[in-house]
Amino acid sequence: MPGYEVKVRSLAIDGAADLQIRSLFDNDQFADPAGAAQALGISAAQWPLFGQVWPSGLHLAAAMAVRPLTEGERILEIGCGLALASLVCHRRGAEVTASDIHPLAGAFLLENLRLNALAPMRYCHGDWNEDAVAAEGGAPKVQGRFDLIIGSDVLYERDDGGALAAFIERHALPRCELLIVDPNRSNRAAFVKRMAGLGFEFSETLLSAGAGRADYRGRLMRFVRG
């Protein structure tokens, strides 16, 4: 690949068949010749993060491998990165939309669908700012409302304006479930408070080890409304 290197490996997902995943070779990769990522506010340091396999993403994929699915349920993954959880849901036959702000996330998803012999699935540009516009010629913006919204390690930045909670509210049905795997980020408490203000009841399950990392500490956060 011009400008950056990739690798393909087999990932073990608890409760599901292995996934063949193309990811960036390491965190030193960067290629933004047309300035597409810069225009979206993605710095050079942030650029490679979407293309890495993170323990929280593996935990979310494992949770979605065993979660009962409801016929007709619409699922949205936010900040999907390599979209491991979306791939697991898609392989199980769920109606899932993956979304991310990174301009290359959709292309990596397309290749990972091919590597796993999976049919096409929907990918959308998922910028949490209300007035954001999708890059010209890129994926469409997230539209509509969903029964289930999922994400992993999406609370890594301060969000004093509540952009993430507002984005979720715009795309959550009145009766909705939200599952977030969080590696104990300091912004967690503020997010829980915002979701309570939107009518969501909160519970959590502590997570440890597993997912390819013995020292992992985090939690599966569940919010339910309706």
Domain at 96, CATH number:
3.40.50.150
Q: What domain count does the chain have?
A: 1
Confidence band (pLDDT; 50, 70, 90) for 138?
confident
Q: What is the pLDDT of residues 162-186, one digit of tens each?
A: 999 999 999 999 999 999 999 999 9
Determine contact, residues 90/96, Cβ cutoff 8 Å.
yes
Range of the domain at 76: 6-225
Determine contact, residues 9/69, Cβ cutoff 8 Å.
no
Assigned domain for 143 exists? yes
Assigned domain for 1 exists? no
Assigned domain for 160 exists? yes
Assigned domain for 100 exists? yes
Q: What is the pLDDT of residues 119-129, one digit of tens each?
A: 999 999 999 98
Assigned domain for 64 exists? yes
pTM of the model: 0.95
Q: What is the pLDDT of residues 65-115, one digit of tens each?
A: 999 999 999 999 999 999 999 999 999 999 999 999 999 999 999 999 999
CB burial of 43-59 (b: ≥16 within 10 Å; e: otherwise) equals eeebbbbbbebbbbbbb
Assigned domain for 78 exists? yes
